[in-house]
Copies of this chain bind each other. A is one copy, B any other.
Amino acid sequence: MKKLSIIDIANHLNVSKTTISFILNGRAEEKRIGKELVERVQKFVEEVGYKPNSLAKSLRTGKSNIIGLMVEDISNPFFSAIARLIEDRAYKNGYKIIYCSTDNDTLKTRELINMFRDRHVDGYIIAPPQGIEDDINSLLKDGMPVVLFDRHLPNVNADFVEIDNLFSTYNATKHLIQQGYKNIAFITFASGQTQMQARLQGYHEALNESGYKPVVQEIIFNQNEDLIIAPITNFLKKNKKLDAVFFGTNHVGTCGLKVINGLGIKVPSDLAVVSFDDYDVFKLFSPPVTAIAQPIEAIADSVITVLLNKLNTSSQHISSQSIILKTDFNIRESSKTATS
């Protein structure tokens, strides 16, 4: 049973392949093709399980029905959860997903974008690393639908969906202050990305209002967890007068908890804890960790809606939209008042 092509079925039915093509693409009415012929063709196609070769179709039409998804790291629960939701929606709309992890590496990302481009993906969903501005702009210039998420690029006029990072950390820091904590550290990955900068700024603003001194520890990102745990350990050992710590991402937060356990620090009596992102680890830690929960579903939904929208309307609306979503602040035991 070799794969049969449109011409095989055309021959079988003594019709031209053009007609078959029209029928299969739902243009029978438009082309005024006889009802009975249409039915006969559809029945036969069904019967032999003929599927058009999508490669040939793509080559001809220039459309691939593939969406390129570039996340920072698919094994990070934030990104894998989003990927999952995007995947569902995309498949439901007839799109497949090709994905890759950028590791926030500009060169790698550039190569990957070229690969995607080469593969004629119809649209791009990207959590962009810095330095990739020109490549994105070039995509945009060529009319490719692009949606950025989790962060944006200051000099790129692409649609993006983000959360309100600044307010989220501002608010959470305020909470710590209200609980009576005065020496609040912020531990995060060293990054100039918009979302990380905004988080840092929210922390600073809240502290400024109260006149407390900020203590920031930036960690160099590394796949190897030991290289994240080590600097956090050093930091906590050296700053004994801290009474609270704010972790800037789920990854830092998880590593931070390991350090806290390793050092035998009591939470919240020795040290209060708050973390960005909210996953099982934080909920199940003892005591449960106060965390900022990103609205995963809403993010994924917005991203795919915006993209599908651009995909379906070839309208070249110059205006680009940015969607900013709210987070939930889940207060738990780890940040209970210091003075009780």
A318 at the interface (CB under 8 A from B): no
Contact B91 A254 (CB under 8 A): no
Q: Encode A266-289 as 1/0 by CB contact (under 8 A) with B.
A: 000000000000001101111000
> Complex Cα distance A115/B97, Å?
11
User: How many monomers of this chain does the complex have?
Assistant: 2
Q: Which of A60-95 contact B (CB under 8 A)?
A: 64, 66, 73-75, 77, 80-81, 83-84, 87-88, 91
**Separation of A91 and B99 alpha carbons in the complex (Å):** 11
Interchain residue pairs with CB less than 8 A apart (30): A51-B114, A51-B118, A53-B120, A55-B55, A55-B64, A55-B120, A56-B59, A73-B84, A75-B77, A75-B80, A84-B101, A87-B99, A87-B101, A88-B101, A91-B100, A96-B98, A96-B115, A96-B119, A97-B98, A97-B99, A99-B99, A254-B280, A258-B280, A258-B284, A261-B284, A280-B281, A281-B281, A284-B284, A285-B285, A286-B286
Residues of B within 8 A of A112 (CB): 91
Q: Does A309 interact with chain B (Cβ within 8 Å)?
A: no
Interface centre among A53, A87, A119 (most CB of B within 10 A): A119
Which residues of chain B are within 8 angstroms of A59 by Cβ–Cβ distance? Answer: 53, 55-56, 59
Residues on A lying within 8 angstroms of B by beta carbon are 51, 53-56, 58-59, 64, 66, 73-75, 77, 80-81, 83-84, 87-88, 91, 96-101, 112, 114-115, 118-120, 254, 257-258, 261, 280-281, 283-286
